[in-house]
Amino acid sequence: MNRFFTRITVNGEAAALFTKKELRALLVPLVLEQILTGLMGMADTFMVSNVGEAAISGVALVDSINMLVTYFFSALAAGGTIVCSQYIGHRDTADANHAARQVMALALGISLAFTVLLAPLRRPLLGLIFGTVEQAVMDAADVYMLITVLSYPFLALYTASAALHRATGDSRRPMIVAFAADLLNIAGNALLIFCLHMGVLGAALATLASRIVSAVIMLGYQARPGQVISLGSLRTWRPDGPMLRRILRVGLPSAVENGMFQFGKLVVQSTISSLGTTAIAAQAVIAALDSCIGTPGTALGIGLLTVTGQCIGQNRPDEARRYIRQFTILSTWVVLGMGALFSAGVPFITRLTALSPSGAQLVCQLTWFICVMRVLLWPCAFTLPNGLRAAGDVAYPMIVGSASMWLFRVALCWDLCRYTPVGLWGVWFGWCADWLVRAICFLLRFRGNKWLDHDVLR
């Protein structure tokens, strides 16, 4: 589904940029990939939870740091997707390829810097963020963080390469690679945790192995001749200031927004850690379930970057607006379906964990609450703004997202958890308030025309 031309109908008018068949070819693999990845992540959490509450709590603490880094990589990759998709819509394959190489070089350089910085400082960082936790929890977190930090370069390269594939409309190949890597991760967990009894270390090594394999396979695919976006040899990855600035102008605000978002979640996680081991373990399971429920909406948001980007690249703003509206409505329906599925299955799911009865009950109640709020608020808060970003309107989502995160999700969560008896419920009250504010702000922005007043390729 490589868009280098505009279809012309019989009467001479431009047809829709994407046919229904092409949209299905883009979106179905994306949705399947996100669902499978979410399910595998949930299975990963449950396998670690059987080692004990201290193990799952330690992994949960580190994963909140890992998600900060992961979302930063994803935001930079999204910047590359926007620039490359607009070049493709503009029928400029040479600059699309050049931009792709700059994205890969940027991802590799930043990820290596993160690894070199965080590996020796992991223990002080964990103590600074999470304060005093049980010694067993801190020991598990220390081991898990050391190994997963080593996987950052492979994670960054896979994330960037997969995003570039999607910019051309090819979402099937990243889905296959992600699924294979997830299966490898689960198989590694089964071997290292249950057979070799390596506990948290086994879970971390399985994650490292799966990320190495996924990065190598994706890079191998993209180095083959005949690709729409070809990376070429490493010698062609030399930094180019003007192109890097173009990519960073789009990607950096999203990276800052995602970084602030995940840093805020770290502050929230620090608050959760003060509620005790049971609350930390319950939140880890809830977060895994919540991630699975939201995966289809996330997938649609990723696809919207490509679709809107190519529409804007061909100077078709009305069609971009129509696709943004359709994707947001579709996101609502698929989140509703996932929410209904997990609401019915959560009592059974909690039996697969080693949670205490009180922890399992808390997971069930909060999951039901989250499912309702996701359907009402989440698509407008997170799927819709990806269409704005793809048009180059990246500053507004950054400002709204960062302000809402700190004023509502973090501050309200802190107040409710510290000064009221609501416990873990306070965390999700704060999160849903954040969703509500984002949804209102992005809907108002979308109704106007300012989000179309940007020129990414200039």
- Residue 112 domain flag: yes
pTM, two decimal places: 0.74
What per-residue confidence (pLDDT) applies to 13? 46
What per-residue confidence (pLDDT) applies to 30? 84
Residue 400 in this model has a pLDDT that exceeds 90: yes
Q: Is the pLDDT higher at 443 or at 106?
A: 443
What per-residue confidence (pLDDT) applies to 323? 94
- Residue 330 domain flag: yes
- Residue 12 domain flag: no
- Percent of the chain predicted with pLDDT > 90: 18
- Residue 434 domain flag: yes
Q: Is the pLDDT higher at 46 or at 81?
A: 81
What per-residue confidence (pLDDT) applies to 8? 39
- Residue 164 domain flag: yes
CB-CB contact of 255 with 80 (8 Å): no
- 355, with CB counted inside 10 A (0-12, 13-18, 19+), is buried
263-299: per-residue pLDDT in tens?
Answer: 777 777 777 777 777 777 787 788 878 877 888 888 8
Residues 6+ apart with CB under 8 A from 167: 80, 81, 84, 85, 88, 96, 100, 229, 305, 306, 309
- Residue 201 domain flag: yes
Average pLDDT estimate for 49-72: 76
Task: Note down the domain range covering 166.
Answer: 20-452
Q: Is the pLDDT higher at 433 or at 348?
A: 433
Quote the number of domains for the chain: 1
- Residue 1 domain flag: no
Residue 257 in this model has a pLDDT that exceeds 70: yes
Average pLDDT of the chain to the nearest whole number: 82
Compute the distance between CA of residue 218 and CA of residue 174 in angstroms, rounded to an integer.
7
Compute the distance between CA of residue 137 and CA of residue 236 in angstroms, rounded to an integer.
45
